[in-house]
Structure 1
Amino acid sequence: MASSNWTEPRRWRGLALVGVLWVLVLLSLIALNISATSRLELKLAANLVEAAQRRHVNDAAVNWALWSLLQPGTAGWLADGSRRLLSLEDYQIEVAMQDEHGKIDLNEGNPLLLQGLFLAVGLQPEVAVDLADAILDWRDSDELRRLHGAEAEEYRAAGLVEPANRPFERVEELRLVLGMSPALYEQVAPLLTLYSGQAQVNPLVAPQQVLLAVPGVSEANALQYIEQRRSTYEQGLPTPPFGSVNASLLNSNMPGISYAIETAVSKAGSIVSRQNLIIRRRGGMGSRFEILSLSSPQVAPEPGRDPAVPGEPL
């Protein structure tokens, strides 16, 4: 009997010890969970802060370009696609601005410029003619096939969507034109526009590949002219005419109205965000602008970042 009385308290003490241990285990699990949650919340908060910083830096880059457009005469940039660099704290910004009059208008552009563009990117002459005619057949309102073009019958035979027979509403529609490959589209799309409304291009702001689309222009001619126009612009001098070429394809007197602005933001040597937009002056040459299109192409995530974490931009 005495032995039973002795072992009873020991048993209760053992049970109490086990209970204490379980409580400690539960408290440890709760602490670990709180710690993990706190780390995640801190990471999310840091990502949100950095995303906000990137947005502000991108906005600063766009405003820098708009500021340039508001400068009188040649005090602003020559909007020929040249890239400019700016540093803001830990970020490096690259900005390019292109006057849309320097591109070939997909709806109004002269067929010779369309053919010349395809030749400039390396297509054979007969393929360049076929593609130019196919574009003209797509954008016109009739169903009459041009000599080298394509209408509904040719598209059905190729298993493709029939031509719209209306003006292009987006440059991306060019992907649907018979004969257009993905690789070719990537080459020519940056040189085309819907916002010029002109059959000609402005040589004062045209990119090199667009200048090469003008029949009779060599690469050496184009490069020499680009250097010449930049030099005269910086000096505030008039730029000489662009050689002895087909004048019906060029117009140097078109004032800039619509512009493409591209920004790339880098940090520690890696691009962290991009932004592409097209803006237009309100009221022609006014000081207010409207956005015609806006896109933010994705970039690869930085090493060590988890792209699946909410709030962390790629």
Structure 2
Amino acid sequence: MMKRGSSNPRRSGAALMLALWALFLLSAMVIAWALDIDSRLTLSGNASRVVEAAAMASSGAEVALSPTVETGSSVLHGSLGRNQRYDARITGEGGRLNLNWILAGENPQRIGILRQYLEIKGIDLNERDRMIDCLLDYVDPDNLPRLNGAESEPEYQPKNSLLQRLDELKQVKAWEKFTAQPNWDADFTLYSTGPVDLVWASRDVLLCLPGFNDPIADRFLEYRRGPDEIDGTEDDPPFASLDQVRLALGFTPEQFAQLSGLIGFKDQVVRVVSVGKSGEVTRTVEMIIRKAAQPQMIRWKEF
């Protein structure tokens, strides 16, 4: 009797340990399940924020599409409650250098603008000549290399037609270093009418043009941007004609005549950047359109 009774505590202890171990495993499973649910709810919440931010960005883009909405209009900014809003901005695409316009027909004056731009960017004479000749060889229809250019080689094949995307510059010989820099394409386009729109041209683009120097460009930009020193806002002075631009520059009619054929005024092609926000999440819509009674979409990009 004593022998049978002495084994009960050991059995009870083993049973207790087994029960505790089972409880521990069950608790671990419950905690893991709870963490998984919490993670899924967080992901679901973030996904909803992304969708909402994208919707707000698209809303801003839709507002900017309206033919009646102009640069600096207050309707380009809007909100839905506290946490959702959009901010859209319209800028003239004509303020950028249209590379196809510059290259087509190999007009010396137009090519001179690009050459001057590369000089402003700190590229030395020999490298500029190399870049220009290689770019002309890349787009021209023949297979005859220029003095500093490059045509078909075993590991290099020029397109022999005008550019369709700015990124194609990365494939052109001698342009590798330039296109590796951040924002290398900030002053370039393929979508404008062609001539440089003085109402939107950056400082570097202005300095590429005949008759411009640092004081003239700085004085004009200070006037054009208004008190807040930002282009495309409500305090910018309106230009009703190209002659008003001439007066703002301080050019005589004779000086302004040097720019004939190189400049334009209020190009209808514009770039819209609309940023949507939901909480801390942001999404951006960038589009290039031709502003008219029936707006024409040229490019749409969302990121």
> Smaller-chain TM-score range?
0.7 to 0.9
Separation in 2, partners of 1:294, 1:206: 23
Task: Quote how far apart the aligned CAs of 1:221 are.
Answer: 1.6
Deviation readout 1:55-113 (Å, 9 max, x if unpaired) = 2343344345335xx22xxx72169xxxx977773578664433222222121222122
| DSSP 3-state at the match of 1:277 | strand
Hey, what does 1:285 align to over in structure 2? 292
Query: Aligned match of 1:162 in 157, 167, 192?
Result: 157
SS in 1 for 2:289: strand
Q: Secondary structure at the match of 2:101?
A: coil
CA distance in 1, matches of 2:217, 2:47: 46
CA distance in structure 1 between the aligned counterparts of 2:148 and 2:87, rounded to whole angstroms: 42
Question: What residue in structure 1 maps to residue 211 of structure 2?
Answer: 216
Which has the higher relative contact order, 1 or 2, with Cα contacts under 8 A spaced 6 or more apart? 2
Amino acid at match of 1:33: A
1:138 to partner: Cα distance? 1.1
How far 1:149 moved relative to its partner? 3.1
Confirm whether residue 240 of structure 1 aligns to residue 245 of structure 2: yes
Q: After superposition, what is the alpha-carbon deviation per residue over 1:7-63, rounded to whole angstroms, capped at 9, x for unaligned?
A: 355454334323322321222122221122122123212322332233234334434
Aligned pairs (5 A) from 1:94-243: 95-109=88-102, 110-152=110-152, 161-184=156-179, 186=181, 188-198=184-194, 200-230=195-225, 234-235=237-238, 237-238=240-241, 239-241=244-246, 243=251
The CA deviation at 1:286 is 2.8
The DSSP-based 3-state class of the residue aligned with 1:152 is: coil
- The residue number in structure 2 matching 1:306 is none
Which runs of 5 or more structure 2 residues have no equivalent in the other structure?
Answer: 103-109, 227-234
Whether 1:261 and 2:268 are equivalent positions in the alignment is no
Distance 1:196 1:185 in 2: 24
Verify the 8 A CA contact 1:116 1:215 in the aligned structure 2: no
User: CA distance change for structure 1 residues 36 and 274 in 2, over 3 Å: closer, same or farther?
Assistant: closer
Runs of 4+ aligned residues of structure 1 deviating over 6 Å after TM superposition are 84-88, 265-268
Stretch of structure 1 that moved more, 202-211 or 183-192: 183-192
Rounded to whole Å, the distance in 2 between the matches of 1:275 and 1:35 is: 34
Distance 1:65 1:223, change over 3 A: farther
Q: Does the aligned pair in 1 maintain the 2:141–2:161 contact within 8 Å?
A: yes
Alpha-carbon distance between aligned partners in 2 of 1:122 and 1:96, rounded to the nearest angstrom: 30
- TM-score of the superposed pair, with normalisation by structure 1: 0.72
Aligned mates of 2:207, 2:285 — CA distance in 1:
25
Alpha-carbon distance between aligned partners in 2 of 1:273 and 1:289, rounded to the nearest angstrom: 26
- CA–CA separation in structure 2 for the residues paired with 1:217 and 1:184: 26
Q: Kindly indicate whether the alpha-carbon contact (under 8 Å) linking 1:113 and 1:249 is maintained by their aligned counterparts in 2.
A: no
C-alpha distance in structure 2 between counterparts of 1:221 and 1:91, whole Å:
42
TM-aligned CA distance change 1:3 to 1:265, over 3 Å: same
Q: How many residues align?
A: 274
Cα RMSD over matched residues? 3.4
Unmatched tracts of structure 1, length 5 or more:
297-314
